[in-house]
Amino acid sequence: MKINRENFETFCQKIERQLRLQLPGNEAHLKMASRFRLDTLNRPRDLSKALKSAVLVLFYPDEEKIKLCFILRPDYNGVHSRQVAFPGGRWEEEDTDLTATALREAAEEVNIQPDDVTVLGHLTDLYIPPSNYLVTPVVGYSKNKPEFHPDHLEVAEIIETDLDFLFDPSRRKEKMINVRGYDIDAPYFDVKGHVIWGATAMILSELSEVIKSID
pTM: predicted TM-score of the whole model, two decimal places: 0.94
- The pLDDT value recorded for residue 40 is 65
Backbone angles phi, psi at 97, to 5 degrees: -160, -175
- The pLDDT value recorded for residue 130 is 79
Length of the chain: 215
Cα–Cα distance between 66 and 68 in angstroms, integer?
7
- The pLDDT value recorded for residue 183 is 80
Cα–Cα distance between 104 and 95 in angstroms, integer?
8
- The pLDDT value recorded for residue 185 is 87
Residue type, 2: K
CB atoms inside a 10 Å sphere around CB 114: 15
Angle (CA) 104 27 87, round 5°: 15
Q: Compute CA distances 127 → 15, 23, 79, whole Å.
A: 23, 16, 14
Backbone angles phi, psi at 203, to 5 degrees: -65, -45
Cα–Cα distance between 115 and 2 in angstroms, integer?
26
- The pLDDT value recorded for residue 85 is 96
Cα–Cα distance between 81 and 153 in angstroms, integer?
12
- Domain edges within the chain: 5-164+199-212
What would the CATH number be for the domain defined by 5-164+199-212?
A: 3.90.79.10
Cα–Cα distance between 206 and 18 in angstroms, integer?
12
CB atoms inside a 10 Å sphere around CB 80: 17
Cα–Cα distance between 35 and 129 in angstroms, integer?
14
- The pLDDT value recorded for residue 182 is 73
pLDDT string in tens for the chain (215-residue length):
567 777 999 999 999 999 999 999 999 999 999 877 776 665 667 788 899 999 999 999 999 999 999 999 987 765 556 799 999 999 999 999 999 999 999 999 999 999 999 999 999 999 988 788 999 999 999 999 999 999 999 999 999 999 999 999 999 999 988 776 678 889 999 999 999 999 999 999 999 999 999 96
- The pLDDT value recorded for residue 36 is 72
**Pick from 147, 136, 85, 68: which is nearest to 112 by CA?**
147
Q: Compute CA distances 155 → 86, 158, 189, whole Å.
A: 11, 7, 20
Pairing of strands 126-128, 157-162: unpaired
